[in-house]
Chain A
Amino acid sequence: MKKWLSFLMVAMLALVLAACTANKEAGKEPEKPAENTSTDEGKEEGKKDEDVAIEKTLLMNNGEEPTSFDPSIGFNAVSWSALNNIMEGLTRLDKDHRAVEATAEKIDVSDDGLTYTFTIRDGAKWSNGDPVVAGDFVFAWKHMLNPETASPAAFLAYFIEGAEAYNNGEGSADDIAIEAKDEKTFVVKLTSPNEAFLNIITNPSFFPINEKVASADPNWHTEAATFVGNGPFKLSAWSHDVSFEFEKNEHYWDADAVQLDKVHWAMVNDDTTAYQMYQANELDVTSVPSEIADQMKDSKELRIDDQAGLYFYRFNTSMEPFTNKKIRQAFAYAVDQEEIVNFVTKNGEKPAHGFVTYGFIGPDGKEFRETVGDLVSYNPEKAKQLLEEGMKEEGYAELPKVTLSYSTSETHQNIAIALQSKFKEVLGVDAALQNVESGVFLSEQKEFKYQMSRSSFLHDYADPVNALESFITGSSMNRTTWSNAEYDKLIADIKNETDENKRWELLKQADKLLMDEMPVFPLYFYNSTSLEKEGVSGILRHPVGYVDLKYADKN
C-alpha cells in the first residue's frame, strides 16, 4: 500500500511541476504586449520630462477578439475598430463625418449619377510596399460578392449592377459592373443613382485586398505576420483572444498626418474591469459601465458622441388590438420619451420623436430631424381620446390583452417596466411583460409571434433612407406585418430620385407617414459614451462608422 501512496504523491508532484512549467511557457508569449501596457507605461510617465522623443502608444480596448480581418467577413464593430485603421477604402469619413477622397484622389460621377470613376493615388501603397492598384478593388469586391465567401456584408453592394445576381447564384462574377480600366482607374456602375454611395463605400467591406498576397495565401488575414493592409497603421502583433497591436505604417500615403507610433488593443469584455484598468492607467480609453454612468455625468474625461440608430418598439399590426391605427397611436402617445431618457437609461441620450436620427444635413443645410420636427411625443389627453375612438371603431367593450415582449437584459426590462406603468397611468391598460432569451426573441419576432416588442436599429450607411426602407412590404427588417402601398412607393421614388431637394422632401414625407401609421414607436436615439484620459485627442467617432485613429494623439 505504501508504494501506491508514494506513487500518488509522485503523480501529484508531477502535476504540480507540469502546471508550473505551463505557467512559464504560457506567460512568455503575451508578456511583450503587457510590458507596453503596465511597465513601460509607468516608466513613460516618470521619464517624460527628460526624454522628448518617446514612443506614443495609445492603449485601447476592443472588448473581444475581432471576428475576422478579412474585410468581407468581419462585419461588426469589433472587427471594424481595427480594420478601419489598418486598411483604407476609396473614401474615408472626415472630421465632419463626410466621405472624402482617401485611396482615391479623384472621383468623377457621370451626369446620370450611375457611373463612378475613381482615380487611385500614386502614393497609395500596401504595408509590404506594393502599390495599391484598381485590380485590388475588383478582387476584393468580387470576393465579397462571391456566394461561397458567404459575406454578411454583401447586400451593401447590391447597388452595383450585376452584384445581387452573382451573390444569389444566378449571375456570374464577370457581369458585375466593376472594372479596372488601367492600374489606377477603377470604374463602378450602379443600378440607380445613389446619394449615399460614397458614404457606403467607407464601410470596411469595400476595402481593397492585395490580390497578389491573397492569391498566394488565402489565410493571409488570420495572423499579424501575413496581414497586409493599406491603412494609417499596420498590424504588428496579434495574440488571439489576448491583444493586438498597431504600428505606424510608413508606407501610408498620408503618413505625416499620423501622430501615434503604436496602438495597443486589449480584449477585456467586462465593462467594470475595463474601467478599473483605466483607473490603473492600463487603458487610455474605455466605455462607461452603466452602473456608474450617473456618477460620471460631469467628468471631464467623459465624451458623448451621437450614434445613428434608435431604440424603438414594434407593434404587430396583424394582432389585435394593434390592427387598429388609432389604438397604435394611443399607445405611442402614452409614452414619455423624455422620462425614459432622464430616469431610466440615464446615459445622456436624445429622446426620439421621429424615426430618422439626428446628424443628417439636407441640401438646405438644415438638420433633417429639426426641419421635420416632433412627430410623436407624450400627450396623455390625445392618447386617451385616440384609445376611445379606436375601441369604438373596432367595437371593443374591453381592450384585448396586451403583452410587451423584450429580450433578456436589465436595460430592456427597465424600459419595459416604465412603458407598462405609463400605459396603466395614461390609458388604464394593464399590459403584461414577457422576458425572452435573446436568440429565441429575435427568431420569434421574425415569425411575428409578439404583439408588441422591443427593437433597435443601427445604420449601415449614413442616409435617412437606410432607416426608412426597413418598413417596406416584406423587408426582413420590417417584422411588424405592416404593409402600405403609399409608403412602398415613396421609398422606391426616393431611391430613383436624382434631384437632391426633391429627394429630401420625399424622405420627410416618408418619416411623417411612418410616424402617422405608427407600426413602430420610437423611444430614444443611441449615443456612444466613452472615457478618455487627459492628453488623448483626435480620436474620430462617427454617427455611422468606425473608430478612426488616423489623427489620434497622446501627450
Chain B
Amino acid sequence: MAIYIVKRFFMMIATILIIATLTFFLMHSIPGSPFDEERTSNPTIQANLEKFYKLDQPTHVQYAHYLKSIATFDFGPSIKKPNESVNKLLARGFPISFELGMVTILVAVISGITLGTFAALRHNGIIDYAAMAFAVVGISVPNFVLATVLIQQVAVNWNLLPPATWSSPLHMILPTLALATGPTAIIARLTRSSMLEVLTQDYMKMARAKGLSPMRIVLRHALRNALMPIVTIMGTMLAGILTGTFVIEKIFAIPGMGKYFVESINNRDYPVIMGSTVFYSAFLVFMLFLVDIVYGFLDPRIKLHRKEGDA
C-alpha cells in the first residue's frame, strides 16, 4: 500500500509537470497579449508593462521562471489585477467554490443514490418512471437556464429567497439547487442501471435465501456493489464542481474561483492561467488518486498493489 502511494505520488508530480508545460506553450502560442485592448496603449507604455511582468524576456527564460513559480507555488501578480497575487486570488476564491461544491455534491449524491435505488427496486413502476423523467429533464436542462428561472420565480416573483450574491446560508440555496440538479440526475441514472444489474446476480438470490432482511440486502449487498461506477465518475465530478463553475458563479455573483479559468484565458492573463491550471490539475489528479483508493475499500477484488505477494 505504502509503495503504491509513493509510486502514485511521483506519477502525480510528473502528470502535473506535463500539464503545466503543455499549458505554458499552448498559452504562448495563442495570438494576442494581455495588453491588447481596443484602446491601444502607445509603445512606451506597452514596453513598461511588458518589463513589469517580465514578458520582454525570451521564452526559455520565462519558462524557467514559470517552473520556479510552480515549485514554490508563487505565481506572482495577476496582470489584470496588478495589486493582487494569483495565490491571493485562488486562496480567496477556492474556499467559496469548495463550500458551494461540497454542499452540491452532498445533495447530488444523497438524492441521486436514493432516487436511483428506489427506481431500481420499483423497476417499471411509477416511482421508476417519475425518477427517470426527472433524470432526463435534469440532464437536458442546462444549469444556467435553471438558475435564471429559479431566480426569477423564487426570488423575484415569490420573494422567498435572495436572488444573488454570497453572504448568508440563505444565499446558498438557489445556486446549490441549480448546480446539483445535473449531477443528481446523472447519479440517479447510473445508480438505477447498475442496481438493476446487481439485483439479477446469483448472490442476491443467495442473500434472500439466507433470509436476510430486505433492507440489509439492498444496503449491504446490492448498493455496495452498485456504487462502483458512481465512485468512478465522482473523481472528475468532484474536481470539476469543487473548483468552481464559471456560469453558475457568474449568474449568482458568487466570488468563487470558477471565473478565473475562463476570464484569464480571454484576457491572456498569463500568471492567472498558469496558477489556475496547475491548481486544477493538481486537484483533479489528487481526486483520481482518492478514487482509486476507494475502489479498494469497496471491492476487495481490486488490488492496488498487484505484486504484494512477491514483495
CB of B151 within 8 Å of the partner chain: yes
| A277-B163 CB under 8 A given contacts A22-B95, A440-B30, A476-B42 | yes
CB of A543 within 8 Å of the partner chain: no
CB of A147 within 8 Å of the partner chain: yes
Cβ of A456 and Cβ of B38 under 8 Å apart? yes
Cβ of B162 and Cβ of A38 under 8 Å apart? yes
Residues of A within 8 A of B148 (CB): 272
Residues of A within 8 A of B172 (CB): 23
Cβ of A168 and Cβ of B99 under 8 Å apart? no
Cβ of B83 and Cβ of A26 under 8 Å apart? no
- Pick the contact of B41 from A30, A152, A221, A268 — CB < 8 Å? A152
- Pick the contact of A150 from B30, B52, B151 — CB < 8 Å? B52
Cβ of A31 and Cβ of B48 under 8 Å apart? no
CB of A539 within 8 Å of the partner chain: no
- Pick the contact of B267 from A7, A34, A439, A456 — CB < 8 Å? A439
Kindly state the separation between the CA atoms of A147 and B40 in the bound complex, as whole angstroms: 18
Count chain A CB atoms within 10 A of each CB in B45, B156, B168, B250 and give the residue with the most.
B45
Cβ of B168 and Cβ of A266 under 8 Å apart? no
Give how many A-B residue pairs fall within 8 Å (CB-CB).
178
Cβ of B255 and Cβ of A241 under 8 Å apart? yes
Chain B, 98-128, CB within 8 A of any chain A CB: 98-99, 102-103, 106
Q: Within the complex, what minimum Cβ distance (angstroms) separates A242 from chain B?
A: 5
Kindly state the separation between the CA atoms of A34 and B251 in the bound complex, as whole angstroms: 17
- Pick the contact of A155 from B42, B98, B151 — CB < 8 Å? B42
Cβ of B167 and Cβ of A33 under 8 Å apart? yes
Cβ of B102 and Cβ of A242 under 8 Å apart? no
Residues of A within 8 A of B268 (CB): 439
| A242-B297 CB under 8 A given contacts A26-B99, A152-B41 | no
Residues of B within 8 A of A243 (CB): 165
Residues of A within 8 A of B36 (CB): 439, 442-443, 446
Kindly state the separation between the CA atoms of A151 and B47 in the bound complex, as whole angstroms: 11
Cβ of B102 and Cβ of A15 under 8 Å apart? yes
Residues of A within 8 A of B106 (CB): 16, 19
Kindly state the separation between the CA atoms of A439 and B266 in the bound complex, as whole angstroms: 7
Cβ of B80 and Cβ of A279 under 8 Å apart? no
| A8-B164 CB under 8 A given contacts A269-B253, A439-B30, A477-B40 | no
Chain A, 431-468, CB within 8 A of any chain B CB: 438-440, 442-444, 446, 455-458, 460
Chain A, 1-26, CB within 8 A of any chain B CB: 1, 4-5, 7-8, 15-16, 18-19, 22-23, 26
Cβ of B300 and Cβ of A1 under 8 Å apart? yes
Cβ of A4 and Cβ of B81 under 8 Å apart? no
Cβ of A67 and Cβ of B155 under 8 Å apart? no
Kindly state the separation between the CA atoms of A219 and B45 in the bound complex, as whole angstroms: 22
Q: Within the complex, what minimum Cβ distance (angstroms) separates A437 from chain B?
A: 8
CB of A426 within 8 Å of the partner chain: no
Residues of B within 8 A of A349 (CB): none
B residues neighboring A (CB under 8 Å) = 30-33, 36-45, 47-49, 51-52, 80-84, 92-93, 95-96, 98-99, 102-103, 106, 148, 151-152, 155-156, 159, 162-169, 171-172, 250-253, 255, 259, 266-268, 294, 297, 300
A residues neighboring B (CB under 8 Å) = 1, 4-5, 7-8, 15-16, 18-19, 22-23, 26-27, 30-31, 33-34, 37-38, 65, 67-70, 73, 147-152, 154-155, 164, 167-168, 219, 221-222, 240-243, 266-270, 272-273, 276-277, 279-280, 282, 438-440, 442-444, 446, 455-458, 460, 476-477, 479
- The 3 A-B residue pairs whose C-beta atoms are closest, nearest first, are A439-B32, A34-B167, A241-B255
